[in-house]
Chains A and B, each alone.
Chain A
């Protein structure tokens, strides 16, 4: 479903990703771990289409399509979802209006009729229940005044509303207490299907107690330096990242 080959990305002339390869297939959950500043968010943002990064080499195919030819909204409508590490506050735009617009714009892209208000509200209630989110969040402006935990839960809620083929969750677990962490993990587990896939970017083994990954990758200084099964996460938890430096150099 997602095929990244020799991806090279820089920002403001500084090289961040230095030849990254990754294959993700339907039904898989991948975890990407790695120290701060190593390029995890850069990778996620480039897949979603943020234009502040410069792609200097390599390719990304999604369902066989070159995604660099697609605008961010087209990538979203093709089924890519990014759960932001730092969700953005949008004062004055209500969550409900935001999601209704997003759902219907995506439906339009796919040639489907828009949902009526009634249909949309019913669907929203359903998905809220599914991911166990209280109604409070949807009555407010997008992320405005939300606590850190609320913002992260809101990303999961949006994921549930948009039902992506590929969801990339960028440190959605950071800074969460155990209850919020469970909401996030539960969201992923509920939405997991044989025909979709997840890339979970995290710092901690902790999240992987709840979301069991099929693959764990270590991103270090712009490259995936090690890949393995879920036991790799445990190893990283124990040893930290220092021991990997030898492998790089």
Chain B
């Protein structure tokens, strides 16, 4: 770890740039010319634009300055952790047999860098895939997560070193759910930029569960980019489960690119986090695509969750549904931006959006913004947004039956979240998340508790929604 560097505030940007320039030779040592070119271009964009700030329309309500004004360590070399994963956690989704992939502080962790399943599916380290399958990687890398105008993508592309790579050939239904676990375990404040690439051929199926988890509580800054390419007639079920500590900053950008007649279901479940920004880009390039995007977050204290979606209908006969919900306690803040773009040729598009939020206090705030941009004429489009309190009529109705106020509030919140949770297709996962949400609402869930992971944390923090005020 000799080439780790410490980077700090005022000039987090300058230090990153400086660091890039000093290490460009090492960074690109074994890389193809295309990769090198992308890195240089990306750094160029980042130099011009820097970190997103609140003067940018898309970042108006999410202020990164606190997160930027901290010192971070960047690991440029794989720390080569030799570690038995099962000693730090065991997966605890009952009755769900997954193929487990671990990223440890952003680095692929496992005995085998690449595993090829019997059906031809390739699962492994992104950096290794760049070496073994350069053509496959180059055909897609950075193609969807544009580095031209997006400084967050650019920063990731400039420094991207490792992450998860998955390739599913044509006509393959991957038999086990693949579970990616991002574990952050460090004594330092880390700046981590995982890069994932998932490619599905035609008529294939993949269920992917992506869990974010911290073990040590440090100021980590994660900027991850995931590109998921869904071939013609293929189906992806994607689940993102976030249970991060309050000190963490996490920007995730997930790009789904859909070919004709493909189906995507995306579920983003945020149980806890410091500052979270989830960018979800769904580009329906082919005809007849379906995309269901669901999300729910439960936050309290000073937590901040921003879900930003851009759904692009580029071709005819596609359907998209967005359902995002949030429950906010204390002085927490939520943001939802749902941008639906229907291009000129995307006739017979159906695009729906629904964002519902409950504020438990008058200090909690929610910014919700639909953004419809429609250039085709034969389009069915609708959006709705609500920000309110728990239904007082329902609350009284329950209490009049003898159910205590706290319990009534909890049941109502649980029911509110259930609309999203019930859309989870993998039954054992649904049950587990259901249980987690229930315990989160009861104040029993801490980020070190058995969520998806059963880690033995040294520090226990409870993230209780204060029942006395529920």
Assess whether B415 is in contact with A72, with CB atoms less than 8 Å apart: no
Q: Determine which of A71, A82, A89, A97 lies in contact with B405 in the assembled complex, contact meaning CB atoms within 8 Å.
A: A71
Q: How far is the CA of A143 from the CA of B398 in the complex (A)?
A: 12
Q: How far is the CA of A101 from the CA of B411 in the complex (A)?
A: 10
B397 contacts the other chain (CB 8 A):
yes
Which B389-440 residues sit within 8 Å CB-CB of chain A?
391, 393-394, 396-405, 407-408, 411-412, 414-416, 418-419
Could you say which residues of chain A place their CB within 8 Å of the CB of B400? 48-49, 72-73, 75-76, 81-82, 84
Assess whether A76 is in contact with B401, with CB atoms less than 8 Å apart: yes
Contact size range, A: 20 to 34
Contact with B along A63-88 (1 / 0, CB 8 A): 00000000111011100011010011
If A93-B411, A93-B415, A105-B407 touch, whether A88 touches B393 (CB-CB below 8 Å) is yes
Q: How far is the CA of A76 from the CA of B397 in the complex (A)?
A: 11
Assess whether B393 is in contact with A76, with CB atoms less than 8 Å apart: no
When C-beta atoms are compared, the residue in chain A nearest to B396 turns out to be A50
Assess whether A90 is in contact with B402, with CB atoms less than 8 Å apart: no
Could you say which residues of chain A place their CB within 8 Å of the CB of B415? 90-93, 141
Q: How far is the CA of A40 from the CA of B268 in the complex (A)?
A: 48
Q: Determine which of A49, A84, A87, A98 lies in contact with B399 in the assembled complex, contact meaning CB atoms within 8 Å.
A: A49
Smallest CB–CB gap between A104 and chain B, Å?
9
Q: How many residues belonging to B are interface residues under a CB distance threshold of 8 Å?
A: 22
Assess whether B401 is in contact with A98, with CB atoms less than 8 Å apart: yes
Could you say which residues of chain A place their CB within 8 Å of the CB of B391? 88, 90
When C-beta atoms are compared, the residue in chain B nearest to A161 turns out to be B401
A224 contacts the other chain (CB 8 A):
no
Assess whether A88 is in contact with B401, with CB atoms less than 8 Å apart: no
A169 contacts the other chain (CB 8 A):
no
Q: How far is the CA of A152 from the CA of B405 in the complex (A)?
A: 24
A162 contacts the other chain (CB 8 A):
yes
Q: Determine which of B399, B404, B407, B412 lies in contact with A90 in the assembled complex, contact meaning CB atoms within 8 Å.
A: B412
Assess whether A105 is in contact with B411, with CB atoms less than 8 Å apart: no
Assess whether B402 is in contact with A73, with CB atoms less than 8 Å apart: yes
Q: How far is the CA of A167 from the CA of B56 in the complex (A)?
A: 60
A196 contacts the other chain (CB 8 A):
no
Assess whether B399 is in contact with A92, with CB atoms less than 8 Å apart: no
Assess whether B416 is in contact with A158, with CB atoms less than 8 Å apart: no
Could you say which residues of chain B place their CB within 8 Å of the CB of A109? 402
Q: How far is the CA of A46 from the CA of B390 in the complex (A)?
A: 21
When C-beta atoms are compared, the residue in chain A nearest to B422 turns out to be A92
Could you say which residues of chain A place their CB within 8 Å of the CB of B394? 88-90
Q: How far is the CA of A95 from the CA of B402 in the complex (A)?
A: 15
Could you say which residues of chain B place their CB within 8 Å of the CB of A49? 396, 399-400
Smallest CB–CB gap between B393 and chain A, Å?
5
Q: Determine which of A51, A77, A93, A141 lies in contact with B402 in the assembled complex, contact meaning CB atoms within 8 Å.
A: A77
Q: Determine which of A50, A71, A158 lies in contact with B401 in the assembled complex, contact meaning CB atoms within 8 Å.
A: A158
Smallest CB–CB gap between A60 and chain B, Å?
15
When C-beta atoms are compared, the residue in chain A nearest to B406 turns out to be A73
When C-beta atoms are compared, the residue in chain B nearest to A87 turns out to be B397
Could you say which residues of chain A place their CB within 8 Å of the CB of B398? 90, 98, 102
Contact with A along B116-137 (1 / 0, CB 8 A): 0000000000000000000000
When C-beta atoms are compared, the residue in chain B nearest to A75 turns out to be B400
A106 contacts the other chain (CB 8 A):
yes
Assess whether A105 is in contact with B412, with CB atoms less than 8 Å apart: no
When C-beta atoms are compared, the residue in chain B nearest to A84 turns out to be B397
When C-beta atoms are compared, the residue in chain A nearest to B408 turns out to be A73
When C-beta atoms are compared, the residue in chain B nearest to A106 turns out to be B402
Contact with A along B374-400 (1 / 0, CB 8 A): 000000000000000001011011111
Smallest CB–CB gap between A76 and chain B, Å?
4
Assess whether B403 is in contact with A105, with CB atoms less than 8 Å apart: yes
Q: 8 tightest CB-CB pairs across the interface, nearest first? A: A92-B415, A76-B402, A102-B401, A106-B402, A72-B399, A88-B397, A73-B399, A92-B418
Listed A/B pairs (6) with beta-carbon separation below 8 Å: A48-B400, A73-B408, A90-B398, A91-B419, A92-B418, A98-B411
Question: Footprint of A on B, CB under 8 Å?
Answer: 391, 393-394, 396-405, 407-408, 411-412, 414-416, 418-419
Given pairs A49-B399, A90-B394, 6 additional interface contacts (CB within 8 A): A76-B400, A81-B400, A88-B393, A93-B411, A102-B401, A102-B403
